[in-house]
């Protein structure tokens, strides 16, 4: 007797970034580890370079947005992403300081969540050109579930003046 089983798939938009070591290679390794441990990456942005945001006396960051299909809940996904960071050697020493890899969940479905582990949508997404630029490349028409604006609109309205440079095309 066969049974039909439907697993609900979640769509998450992630931002990977880092400014230590071989930044491009680190993004590629993070991509592979996320794909192996978290779900299927269905779209990835180009890689972008930007100066550090907040704590500015550190090397420039490389960032890439990923669209992930996953069976994981938001909190389980965040735990897996933290595990990927740890596997890659991330050490949390200085808040907003240099790091080999950082992986954030920017958006997930239409979820609005604020827990001790994670806040979705990312609370500073609309303020950060370095996150909006790669996200707008792969999801320009996705609506922010709190601000009710498309990502491309948020990018057009973003007051962050840190330049963001495309350095490589998507995978």
Q: pLDDT tens digits for 153-171?
A: 999 999 999 999 999 776 5
C-alpha separations of 141 from 5, 10, 14, 46, 103 in Å: 31, 18, 16, 17, 22
Q: Output the pLDDT for position 96.
A: 67
**Active-site pick, 23, 102, 129, 160:** 102
Structural domains of the chain, with CATH = 10-124 (3.30.70.560)
Residue 91 has pLDDT above 90, yes or no: no
CB 10 within 8 A of CB 99: no
- Residues 109-128 have pLDDT tens digits of 999 999 999 999 999 999 99
Q: Output the pLDDT for position 4.
A: 57
- Phi-psi region for residue 39, left (φ > 0), alpha (ψ -120 to 50) or beta? left
For residue 129, give the H/E element and its range: helix 129-138
The pTM of the full predicted model, rounded to 2 decimals, is 0.92
Residue 29 appears among annotated catalytic residues: no
- Euclidean distance between CA atoms 99 and 91, whole angstroms: 7
**Active-site pick, 23, 29, 90, 129:** 90
**Active-site pick, 99, 128, 129, 160:** 99
**Active-site pick, 23, 104, 128, 160:** 104
Residue 90 appears among annotated catalytic residues: yes
CB 8 within 8 A of CB 71: yes
For residue 14, give the H/E element and its range: strand 10-18
Residue 128 appears among annotated catalytic residues: no
Q: Output the pLDDT for position 20.
A: 93
Residue 160 appears among annotated catalytic residues: no
């Amino acid at each position: 007797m066969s049974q039909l089983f439907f697993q609900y798939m979640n769509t998450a938009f992630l931002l990977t970034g880092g400014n230590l070591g071989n930044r491009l290679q680190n993004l590629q390794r993070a991509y592979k580890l996320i794909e192996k441990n978290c779900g299927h990456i269905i779209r990835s942005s180009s890689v972008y370079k930007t100066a550090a945001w907040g704590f500015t006396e550190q090397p420039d960051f490389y960032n890439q947005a990923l669209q992930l299909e996953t069976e994981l809940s938001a909190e389980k996904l965040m735990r897996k992403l933290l595990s990927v960071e740890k596997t890659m050697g991330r050490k949390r020493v200085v808040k907003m300081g240099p790091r080999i890899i950082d992986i954030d969940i920017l958006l997930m479905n239409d979820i609005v969540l604020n827990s001790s582990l994670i806040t979705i949508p990312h609370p500073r997404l609309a303020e950060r050109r370095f996150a909006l630029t790669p996200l707008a490349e792969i999801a320009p028409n996705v609506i922010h579930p709190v601000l009710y604006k498309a990502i491309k609109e948020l990018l057009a309205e973003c007051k962050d003046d840190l330049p963001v440079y495309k350095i490589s095309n998507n995978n």
